[in-house]
C-alpha cells in the first residue's frame, strides 16, 4: 500500500506545481481567442422533444452567401379500428422528407423548405404523403426572402409560418404529432408579407397575409406581441346542466 501511495502523492504535488507555475507565467498574457462555431438554426421552430442540430452544415454559395443546410426525415405508421369510410385500418408513409436551405446573416436573407410531408390532425382522416403535398402546400411549403437593415428590424415576404398558436405545421416540430383540437382553428402557413422588430425581451410582428392559405388578402393584419417566454394555463369549462 505504501508503494502505491508514495508515487501517487508525488505525482499530485508535481501536478499542482505545474498548474500553478503555468498560471503564474501566463498571467500577463491575454487568453487565446476561441474560434467561432456554428449554432443551431432557429428555423424551423422546434418545441420539443427533438432539438435542432447544434452544428449545422454550411457552405459558401458564392453570390448567395453562406448557406446553412439542414433537414428532417421521419416515417409514420398507424393502425385504427374506427376508421373513416375511405380510410384503411393500417397505413404507413413518409411523414417528413424535407431539406432546409437558409441564409441568416447580412442585409439579404432567405429561407427555403423543399420536400414531402404529412400533417396528421387529431379527429381528422390521415392523408398519404402524395395527397398531402399535392392538396396542401406543394413541394415547397415554406419560402421567403428577408431584408434586415439592422439586427432588430426586418421586412420579409413569401410563404410564412403563422404567428398564431403554439403548434407548428410539421410533426417533428411538435410535442404531439397529431397536435390538439385547437390546431384546426388556426392558420398554419400563409402567403403574404411581414414586418418585425425586436428589443430585448420584446418581439413585435405585423403581417398581412391570406389567412388559411385562401389566396385572398382581405384578412385583417395579424399583430403579435411576444415576450421571451410563454406561460399558458388551460381554462376550465363548466357545461350548463340541462333544464
Q: What is the pLDDT of residues 45-69, one digit of tens each?
A: 888 788 898 999 999 988 888 999 9
Residues contacting residue 179 through CB under 8 Å, at least 6 positions apart: 121, 122, 167
Contact 167, 131 (CB under 8 A): no
pLDDT score for 141:
97
Residue 144, helix vs strand vs coil: strand
C-alpha cell at 203: 418581439
pLDDT on residue 92: 93
pLDDT winner (highest mean) among 30-34, 80-84, 231-235 = 80-84
Residue 21 is predicted with a pLDDT of 37
Q: What is the reported pLDDT for 236?
A: 36
Highest mean pLDDT among 19-28, 150-159, 219-228: 150-159
Reported as a pLDDT band with limits 50, 70 and 90, residue 157 is very high
**DSSP character for 241?**
P
- Average pLDDT rounded to a whole number, residues 132-140: 96
Higher pLDDT, 13 or 52: 52
pLDDT value of residue 167:
85
Amino acid at each position: 500500500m505504501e508503494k502505491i501511495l508514495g508515487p501517487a502523492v508525488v505525482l499530485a504535488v508535481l501536478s499542482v506545481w505545474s498548474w500553478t507555475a503555468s498560471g503564474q507565467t501566463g498571467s500577463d498574457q491575454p487568453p487565446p481567442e476561441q474560434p467561432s462555431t456554428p449554432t443551431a438554426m432557429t428555423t424551423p421552430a422546434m418545441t420539443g422533444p427533438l432539438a435542432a442540430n447544434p452544428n449545422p452544415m454550411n457552405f459558401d454559395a458564392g453570390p448567395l452567401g453562406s448557406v446553412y443546410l439542414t433537414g428532417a426525415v421521419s416515417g409514420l405508421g398507424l393502425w385504427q379500428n374506427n376508421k373513416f369510410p375511405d380510410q384503411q385500418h393500417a397505413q404507413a408513409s413518409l411523414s417528413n422528407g424535407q431539406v432546409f436551405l437558409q441564409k441568416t446573416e447580412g442585409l439579404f436573407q432567405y429561407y427555403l423548405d423543399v420536400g414531402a410531408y404529412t400533417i396528421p390532425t387529431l379527429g381528422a382522416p390521415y392523408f398519404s404523403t402524395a395527397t398531402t403535398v399535392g392538396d396542401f402546400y406543394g413541394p415547397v411549403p415554406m419560402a421567403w426572402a428577408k431584408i434586415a437593415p439592422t439586427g432588430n428590424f426586418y421586412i420579409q415576404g413569401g410563404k410564412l409560418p403563422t404567428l398564431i398558436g403554439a403548434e407548428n405545421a410539421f410533426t417533428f416540430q411538435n410535442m404531439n404529432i397529431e397536435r390538439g383540437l385547437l390546431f384546426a382553428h388556426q392558420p398554419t402557413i400563409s402567403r403574404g408579407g411581414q414586418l418585425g422588430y425586436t428589443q430585448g425581451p420584446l418581439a413585435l410582428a405585423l403581417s398581412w397575409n391570406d389567412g388559411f392559405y385562401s389566396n385572398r388578402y382581405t384578412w385583417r393584419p395579424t399583430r403579435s406581441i411576444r415576450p421571451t417566454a410563454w406561460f399558458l394555463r388551460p381554462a376550465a369549462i363548466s357545461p350548463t346542466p340541462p333544464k
